[in-house]
Structure 1
Amino acid sequence: MAVSPRRKTSFEVDFAKVEAARDILGTRSLTDTVDAALEEVIRVRQRRQLVELLFEPGALDPDATADAWR
C-alpha cells in the first residue's frame, strides 16, 4: 500500500463541529480529528457497498455460504 502524501493546508473550520467530532472519535488534535473523521467516512462508504452487495440477487454463492449460519 502506498503511503498517502501529507501536506499542510489552510481552511476555515467550525470548531464546534471539531469538538463534537473529537468527543465522538476520542481524538486530541485537529489533525487527528480530521484524519479520523475522513477514515470514518471511507469506512461508512465501504459498509454501504457491502450491504448493497449482500442484497444484490445472486451476489452470493449459496453453496459457499451454506455453513456460515451454523
Structure 2
Amino acid sequence: MSHEIFKLPAGLPTPCKDVDLRDADIIRRGLALFGPEFSTALALCALDAWLDANDREYSRWSTLFNKLRN
C-alpha cells in the first residue's frame, strides 16, 4: 500500500518493478518530487508497512528515513 504515495505524474515513464534503485537515488528523486515533505512521506510509508506487518518494507523505509535525517 505504501508504494501508492510514490506514483509518478502522468506522462512520465514508469520504472520497471525489478529495478533496485540505490538509496541515494531514491532520496534524490524523493526530494525532487516532494521537497521538504519527503521525510514525512518516508515516515508514512514506514508506518503503513509496520501496520501491514511487512517487516521487509518497514525496514527499507525506516533505513531511508534514517539516511535522510543524517
TM-score where L is the length of structure 1: 0.26
More helix by share: 2
TM-score where L is the length of structure 2: 0.26
- Structure (1 or 2) with the larger CA radius of gyration: 1
Higher relative contact order (CA 8 A, sep 6+): 2
